[in-house]
Structure 1
Amino acid sequence: MGSTSAHGEHSNGEGFGRRDLIKRSAALGLIAVPTMSFLSACASGSDETTKGNESKVAVTKENPFGVAKGGKLDVVVFKGGYGDDYAKAWEAAFDKKWGTTSSHLATQEITSKLQPRFNGGNPPDVVDDSGAQQIKLDVLAKGNQLADLTVVLDAPSLDDPSKKVRDTLMPGTIEGGMIGGKFVALQYVYTVWGLWYSGKLFKEKGWTAPKTWAEFMDICQKAKAAGIGGLAHQGKYPYYINVAIMDLIAKKGGLDAMKAIDNLEPNAFADNPVALEAVEAVYELVEKDLLMPGTNGLTHTESQTQWNQYKAAFITSGSWLENEQLKQTPEDFDMQFLPMPVLPDSKLPFEAIRAGAGEPFIVPEKAANKAGGLEFLRSMLSREWSTLFAQQANSLTVLKDGVDPSVKLRSGTQSAVAALKSAGDNTFNYRYSDWYSAMGTELENASNELMAKRIQPKEWIKRAQAAVNKATEDPNAKNNKRS
């Protein structure tokens, strides 16, 4: 859901924002010992102390936040497409190193489980705040409920203490965690968004993966003629169909079109022919009856499972899809990722993809073991923990150079890695859903009406611009700017 998120989910969007991607690995246990020169340059002196579990603990180069040995650590993770085995492995490693006792809660009901704890001043120490029921990051930030994680960025990397953690991250990771000018969320999973299809089905039908929207529509027509749907989407969660709409806007209009939306410009949608063309392109699927039958009323997993049963040629999603559908995907399905096909005269090439950091991890400002929470996040950005995540979740983290070429990846993950390589610098990622969650919800509500044929594209544009205009009243709007 962080982008959020998702269901099962994911992040980055509605509530999801999740979703995310590609595999990674690295040599386990490469944790170097910090040098004295690094200590003098970057770490706090050991005479400083911090509060951890009610006791004063010396801050040293190995313990930059002053974690108390033998304390408790309260971890809550969103149990969606990535499961929670990775978090259990992390907690075991943390407890072994620090002598702590971790408590573990995995749930999709983040808001209902945690809102009372935030309100009561006793939140967990680490939270994977994702999924459809994510507690909105902008809401937490406005209430001063999030710890400033800049100290984690400036701490020494566990793998190479001569580097700061910030220097080991994929581009966009820090920007993706900024709200109101402060770094408050570690978007941990590196995700790509777009279309997905079965390599087996396409081979059997003699179809070639489309690069233009016209080619995409042609395959949807052929699919319909063959008795299957063209596009499946997760109708109950319109976050997913907005992957198509918003990708088309960004690719047709270029980065300026994307930034206009994030920067809440008065013509982000209104009087914008690029936005209207994108919405009309998606609406054509509805008008020509090219959606998978019933898809508007399905949840993400229901729709995705029918797609796995070859009932549709394409589905929109982020790269968490493969791991989320492991049990439902036939062995020979050959899951493949496809960047969003382009409309005529698009400013970005077909290879351009929405990619970036998602799945937000936070440390609450009032955490009982705040030092432990900060150290937990620093550990997540080590090769050892990044590899544990890759092994358990079939997805890539935001730690650079984490893919071990000797590790065999699943087909969907392999195709996402290949697509990222082909994209090069042609990647983009929206921020509006994290910055202005109410606006994100309004865009999804409009798309829900559009796909059900209750409104036309011009009405979608009108509603979307109204949501943008309303978001300008947000007090953080003056700080949330893309250049």
Structure 2
Amino acid sequence: MNPENPHRPYPTRRSLLKTAGAAAAGVPLLAACVTNSGDGDEPADTGGAKSTENPLGVRADAPLEVVVFKGGYGDEYAIKAEAKYTEKYPQAKIDHKGLQKVGEAMQPRFVAGNPPDVVDNTGAGRLDMATLVSAKQVTDLAELLDAPAFDQPGKKVRDTLLPGVVDDGTFGGSPVALNFTYTVWGVWYSKSLFAERGWIYPTTWADMLALCETIKKAGIAPWTYQGKYPEYINDPLLTMAAKAGGLDLVKAVDNLQPDAWKQPGLTQAAEAFAELAGKGYLMSGSEALSHTEAQAAWCQKKAAFIPCGSWLESEQKDVTPAGFDMVLGTVPALPAAKMPVTAVQAASSESYLVPAKAKNVAGGQEYLRILFSLASAKDFAQANSTLPAVAGATEGLTLSSGLGSVRDAVTAAGPDAFNYRFRTWYAPLAKAIDDATGELVNRRISVADWSTRIQKASDALAKDSTVVKYTR
């Protein structure tokens, strides 16, 4: 999965989607507003009769257009769901598009009012979801969530999803996106390397620093990270902060509260990562590395640790040496933390939406009902070594080392899985935080400067009346 570093505030309802170099910078394109191609226009297809077998009222012969981000997971899983759709609606012609740059391709279609029926809005350069929501360009998926699950009798679709999945796609009280994968962020290491060296993964930051010194003396860099995309090193820092300050800290950040970034939990976590850099525990040259370059170096055992989300194993499958046995470790805790060390930052991703102006809104939602079936999720988990957003999808499967460790981390975390929402709600703030953390770990700004710089960006956003605000 490519890094996703969003930026810029919402445009007005009547403005056009702006590229402004977003594709070149690897940031989400801004979906806007998409002016009406005719005031009062309705989707061309109003659906068919609803029944037990057809709870969403799909018109059996209505064409269906599906656009999928063809990234680290490919698009075969989506094509399999389309085959199931065709089995149920053999008269429906399906137009499938697997794309690398979804936002770039979809931007003019949203502007023109002729979007596809389903969009996997994922990858670098994706459309900004908050802007699409404010422009009323996405369908409320409440009816889908309350529909019967495709292959789990007695359950609604919403009842089959892992905790937080519905919330992750909810804006202003309305569920408008449904995320297919469940991402857990942590610190990765080679289980076989650690066994060979007699190293034990640390649970406290003091133990992490002590182990880093041991690793360094062994001639291996303790850490590397995807330097061109500092959000990767930002994730463990923010996870550590949340463990230190608890959910109140997370909410203060997301709610743009004054002095949120002055909280001790955040400044202590920033000090910890500044110390990691200051002691020379980051592999030399990491700042200049892309995600693939840093991850390749780690797979070559040039560094012991790398921060990443749980897509790492799938993304590295073609270059990981046999017997490497990568596993995810939870972020070590600072003293007197308010959350247990087993707590993890986790959220759903691979975001699917049904455009409001789609010609086949009912078919788009039915396709998602099929895609989010238990059978579909199991196939995806097996093929991609990635945890799907559907509960129970890994039961009965023989799991790889990485996916097994992710599953175990989610199980151990239980109710202590959490997620920041600012990255989805406020793209400009996300970019400001990532940039500041990149400067911090490369020793160009102090912790005080880091805190002040981010708080200034948060305060500016809070005062900007043109930006829709969300609270939790």
What TM-score results when the alignment is normalised by the length of structure 2? 0.88
User: Would you say the 8 A contact 2:162–2:390 is kept in 1?
Assistant: yes
User: Would you say the 8 A contact 1:223–1:230 is kept in 2?
Assistant: yes
2:310 to 304, 319, 334: 319
CA shift, 1:353, in A, is: 1.0
The alignment partner of 1:139 has SS state of: helix
CA shift, 1:173, in A, is: 1.4
User: Would you say the 8 A contact 1:193–1:243 is kept in 2?
Assistant: yes
Return the letter of the residue paired with 1:120.
Answer: A
2-structure distance, mates of 1:61, 1:475: 46
CA shift, 1:104, in A, is: 2.3
Unaligned runs of 5+ in 1: 1-5, 18-50
**Pairing 1:138–2:91 present:** no
The alignment partner of 1:341 has SS state of: coil
Q: In the superposition, relative to structure 1, how do residues 274 and 404 fare at CA in structure 2: closer, same or farther (>3 Å)? A: closer
The alignment partner of 1:159 has SS state of: coil
1:191 to 183, 186, 189: 183
2:344 to 346, 353, 367: 353
Q: In the superposition, relative to structure 1, how do residues 466 and 108 fare at CA in structure 2: closer, same or farther (>3 Å)? A: farther
Return the letter of the residue paired with 2:103.
Answer: T
User: Would you say the 8 A contact 1:11–1:359 is kept in 2?
Assistant: no
Q: In the superposition, relative to structure 1, how do residues 316 and 88 fare at CA in structure 2: closer, same or farther (>3 Å)? A: same
Correspondence for 1:417: 407
Q: In the superposition, relative to structure 1, how do residues 121 and 82 fare at CA in structure 2: closer, same or farther (>3 Å)? A: same
1:256 to 248, 262, 277: 248
Q: Show CA shifts across 1:109-137 (max 9, x none).
A: 12211111111111121111112212111
2:226 to 202, 224, 234: 234
Q: In the superposition, relative to structure 1, how do residues 369 and 15 fare at CA in structure 2: closer, same or farther (>3 Å)? A: farther
The alignment partner of 2:260 has SS state of: coil
1-structure distance, mates of 2:111, 2:246: 42
Correspondence for 2:192: 200
Correspondence for 2:72: 81
User: Would you say the 8 A contact 2:115–2:355 is kept in 1?
Assistant: yes
Q: In the superposition, relative to structure 1, how do residues 140 and 293 fare at CA in structure 2: closer, same or farther (>3 Å)? A: same
Correspondence for 1:59: 50
Q: Show CA shifts across 1:295-347 (max 9, x none).
A: 11111111111100101110001111111110111110011110000111111
The alignment partner of 2:340 has SS state of: coil
The alignment partner of 2:307 has SS state of: strand
Structure 1 residues 245-324: aligned runs within 5 Å: 245-270=237-262, 272-324=263-315
The alignment partner of 1:240 has SS state of: helix
Structure 1 residues 328-347: aligned runs within 5 Å: 328-347=319-338
Q: In the superposition, relative to structure 1, how do residues 473 and 372 fare at CA in structure 2: closer, same or farther (>3 Å)? A: farther
Q: Show CA shifts across 1:137-178 (max 9, x none).
A: 111111111111111111122224533222222221111111
Q: Show CA shifts across 1:164-212 (max 9, x none).
A: 2222222211111111221111122112111000011111221111111
Q: In the superposition, relative to structure 1, how do residues 333 and 139 fare at CA in structure 2: closer, same or farther (>3 Å)? A: same
2-structure distance, mates of 1:12, 1:425: 28
The alignment partner of 1:313 has SS state of: strand
Correspondence for 1:403: 394
The alignment partner of 2:444 has SS state of: coil
**Pairing 1:391–2:382 present:** yes
Correspondence for 1:35: none
Return the letter of the residue paired with 1:416.
Answer: V
Larger deviation: 58-67 or 192-201? 58-67
Q: Show CA shifts across 1:337-380 (max 9, x none).
A: 10000111111111111123222111111112211111111112
CA shift, 1:53, in A, is: 6.0
Please, what is the CA RMSD of the aligned residues? 2.3
CA shift, 1:461, in A, is: 0.8
CA shift, 1:478, in A, is: 7.3
Correspondence for 1:444: 434
Unaligned runs of 5+ in 2: 8-24, 29-41
2-structure distance, mates of 1:246, 1:132: 22
The alignment partner of 2:271 has SS state of: helix
User: Would you say the 8 A contact 1:286–1:451 is kept in 2?
Assistant: yes
2-structure distance, mates of 1:185, 1:55: 21
2-structure distance, mates of 1:58, 1:346: 55
User: Would you say the 8 A contact 2:330–2:344 is kept in 1?
Assistant: yes
CA shift, 1:95, in A, is: 2.1
Correspondence for 2:458: 468
2-structure distance, mates of 1:476, 1:378: 35
Q: Show CA shifts across 1:44-98 (max 9, x none).
A: xxxxxxx986475222222222222233222122222322221121222222321
Aligned residue pairs total 441
**Pairing 1:71–2:72 present:** no
2:164 to 169, 172, 189: 172
The alignment partner of 1:230 has SS state of: strand
Correspondence for 2:353: 362
Q: In the superposition, relative to structure 1, how do residues 137 and 117 fare at CA in structure 2: closer, same or farther (>3 Å)? A: same
The alignment partner of 2:140 has SS state of: coil
Larger deviation: 89-98 or 133-142? 89-98
User: Would you say the 8 A contact 2:6–2:428 is kept in 1?
Assistant: no
User: Would you say the 8 A contact 1:16–1:130 is kept in 2?
Assistant: no
User: Would you say the 8 A contact 2:189–2:328 is kept in 1?
Assistant: yes
User: Would you say the 8 A contact 2:152–2:374 is kept in 1?
Assistant: no
The alignment partner of 1:92 has SS state of: helix
The alignment partner of 1:396 has SS state of: coil
Return the letter of the residue paired with 1:461.
Answer: S
2:108 to 103, 116, 121: 116
Kindly indicate whether structure 1 or structure 2 has the higher relative contact order, using CA contacts under 8 Å at least 6 residues apart: 1
Return structure 1 stretches of 4+ with deviation > 3 angstroms. 9-17, 51-56, 473-479
2-structure distance, mates of 1:287, 1:158: 53
Return the letter of the residue paired with 1:78.
Answer: F
**Pairing 1:152–2:125 present:** no
Q: Show CA shifts across 1:357-412 (max 9, x none).
A: 2221111111122111111111122112212222322222222222222x110001
Q: In the superposition, relative to structure 1, how do residues 56 and 447 fare at CA in structure 2: closer, same or farther (>3 Å)? A: closer
